[in-house]
Amino acid sequence: MAGLDENRPFIPLGIAVLTVSDTRTPADDRSGDTLAARIVEAGHRLIERAIVPDETRAIAAQVKAWTSRKEIDVVITTGGTGFTGRDVTPEALEPLFEKKMDGFSQVFHRISFDKIGTSTIQSRATAGVAGATFIFALPGSPGACKDAWDGILKAQLDYRHMPCNFVEIMPRLDEHLKRGAGK
């Protein structure tokens, strides 16, 4: 049964939040604020926040820079996962992934369906691993950010969560690179 093992210590992670938007500013970035508040409330370290326009190169460059930093274990993006011409977050991130996390999108849509019904199909939420860093691309609404954090990320980014969690596998995320298979 899933739950917290209080005998295990909480291990705070370093997390960066990227808002992808042509219109948001630090003053009105509600989705970024939602994620930042939940990250800190959970006991993790918010290492950095940024806002970039809906441009493939800008998104990829920021995330790639963060994945090269030792103190950043997780990158969470919000915005740019829809179907309009400017929604390019999956196109920017998926080429960076060394491993794609198909289950994240499936569970996110299941949680989202319970809240917004079939409208969930309008999101291309995605996730993967690059540079031994977990990357999650969420829709740009505060509600979607709450659903993803509360329903998936809060538990999976907590070492105490059982039967398993992302934290316990972090030391082994780059094994394939050490063996040379990722080249």
Q: What is the pLDDT of residues 152-178, one digit of tens each?
A: 999 999 999 999 999 999 999 887 666
Q: Can you count the helices (H) and strands (E) in the chain?
A: 7, 8
Sign of CA dihedral 107, 167, 13, 154: positive
User: Domain of 60: which CATH number?
Assistant: 3.40.980.10
Could you give the count of Cα atoms lying within 13 Å of 153 in the half-sphere of its Cβ? 31
Does residue 77 carry a pLDDT above 80? yes
Structural domain includes residue 25: yes
User: What is the arithmetic mean of pLDDT over 59-67?
Assistant: 98
Residue numbers of the domain that contains 44:
17-172
Q: State how many domains the chain has.
A: 1
Structural domain includes residue 182: no
Does residue 4 carry a pLDDT above 50? yes
Give the pTM: 0.94
26, two tokens? 């630090």
B/e letters for 24-52, b = 16+ CB within 10 Å, e = fewer, are: beeeebebbbbbbebbeebebeebbbbbb
Helix (H) or strand (E) holding 102: helix 102-116
Structural domain includes residue 178: no
